[in-house]
Amino acid sequence: MKTDSCAPLASVIDLLLDAICVVDAQGNFVYVSAACKRIFGYTPEEMLGKRMIEMVLPEDRARTMAAAGAVMADQPLLHFENRYVRKDGSVAHIMWSACWSADRKLRIGVARDITQRKQSEAMQAALYSISEAAHGAKDLAALYQQIHLTIAQLLPVDDFIVAIRDLASGELTYPYQALALDSRAPPAEPVTSLCFSVLHGRQPLRFSADSLAALTLPLQAADSAWWLGVPLSSSEGVIGVLLLKSVAAPYTEKDQELLQFVSTQVVTAIERRQLYARLHRMAQYDELTGLPNRACFRDRLETALARVRRNGGRIALLYVDLDRFKQVNDTYGHSGGDQLLRAVADRLTHCVRDTDTVARLGGDEFVVLLENIAEPEDASHVVEKIRGAFTQPMLIAEQSLAIGLSIGTAIYPEDGDAEAQLLKQADDRMYLMKARGGQSLDCE
């Protein structure tokens, strides 16, 4: 229905792609053009008499009312942007130009639908944000959180789960669960079943309470929501799953397409961070034993020395060398030698506290950093504990071998206050013990 004053132009106005809206001083629509059906989803008849502000997204209502007040104060408005809720519940981004007709007490506005442009801009911003996070995030946990925040700008997200397939076992792990109180705990149903379905189907899936019931999955009241899962597909296959949960609104096919598109960038970001993590570990840890390597040990020793210089206390270094390791290598080959080194690393690690460090410097040389010891005798006790652990033979290449150790000890501050001094003192004492037949030499 249209007012008589607007009727002569109606046939022309209805041809426009932009919508023409006329609102009275009370904020009610008194005329709308045919384009409103395409933009807002309501027919002109449904919009007439409706309060304009009721169609505005709640988050945008305050500034929309402020803009309307400015127009009614005879300040023409150009290119004002806000968001409306369409009849189907989706959000439309609108750019307005409006003016005030003082004699008729009417606001006349032209509405242009810029939803597609806004979505494209948001998509580009999301891809840039994910790419930037792949380079800047300090670790994978930080990367997953940034991906969560980025996707939440594009889609309704009340929960966000990242599932990654373990390369060795093929099982899914869950390194990021937005709502989990303990990220180490496995997620509750239906999360695991939904992730499994997406992983093995290799296709995106949308779930509702009805489809969950059809899958005979356990459903709690809190799970009466909508879910969207997409596989994380790389050139190596499916490496994991992104799973989103929405409480208020169902996911649409467009949402699914958007998340699929973003997921390709997510895969690239995850693989890049995984590569960085592997390279970092290779630079800091011994590949054979998994122990910290020389570089990592030096960093930890430097940090420990700085701490005791500042706060007081003692630290100890134990320089450990295997007796007659070459003989084992010659007899059982390099595989036997490698097996021995891994077994030695395991026994040494079980002889110290979690706060201490066992490192492999190279070859058959190991070093133990004992932090926060009260007296020099504490280091002697650890040495005896290590020797006791190695009284039991080791099964190497299906042979039971008795392995001897030469251990040299240095204490801070008694044996020096610098890294090089302590290492040299422990190394010298270890070689002296090796010359004496592999008996430990404690600090003197």
**Residue 43 in tokens:** 């027919």
Average pLDDT over the chain, rounded to an integer? 87
pLDDT score of 70: 95
pLDDT score of 439: 46
pLDDT score of 283: 87
Contact assessment for residue 21 and residue 39, using Cβ atoms and an 8 Å cutoff: no
The pLDDT-based confidence of 46 (bands split at 50, 70, 90) is very high
Contact assessment for residue 175 and residue 183, using Cβ atoms and an 8 Å cutoff: yes
pLDDT score of 181: 62
* Mean pLDDT to the nearest integer, 227-253: 90
108 contact partners, CB below 8 Å, separation of at least 6 = 20, 21, 22, 98, 99, 100, 101
pLDDT score of 444: 37
Chain segment 345-361, per-residue pLDDT in tens: 999 999 999 999 999 99
The pLDDT-based confidence of 7 (bands split at 50, 70, 90) is low
pLDDT score of 167: 77
**pLDDT value at 206 more than 50:** yes
Chain segment 71-119, per-residue pLDDT in tens: 999 999 999 999 999 998 889 999 999 999 999 999 999 999 999 999 8
pLDDT score of 52: 95
Least confident of 10-24, 127-141, 153-167, 213-227: 213-227
**pLDDT value at 257 more than 80:** yes
pLDDT score of 28: 96
pLDDT score of 111: 95
**pLDDT value at 440 more than 70:** no
Closest by CA to 364, choosing from 338, 396, 393, is 338
**pLDDT value at 191 more than 50:** yes
The pLDDT-based confidence of 297 (bands split at 50, 70, 90) is very high
Contact assessment for residue 262 and residue 130, using Cβ atoms and an 8 Å cutoff: yes
**pLDDT value at 121 more than 80:** yes
Query: Which domains does the chain possess?
Result: 16-115 (3.30.450.20), 137-282 (3.30.450.40), 294-438 (3.30.70.270)
pLDDT score of 401: 85
pLDDT score of 1: 43
**pLDDT value at 328 more than 70:** yes
Least confident of 36-45, 277-286, 314-323: 277-286
**Would strands 106-113 and 91-101 be described as parallel, antiparallel, or unpaired?**
antiparallel
Which residues are bridge partners to 177 per DSSP?
161
3-state SS record for 155-179: CCCCEEEEEEECCCCCCEEEEEECC
Least confident of 24-33, 129-138, 221-230, 407-416: 221-230
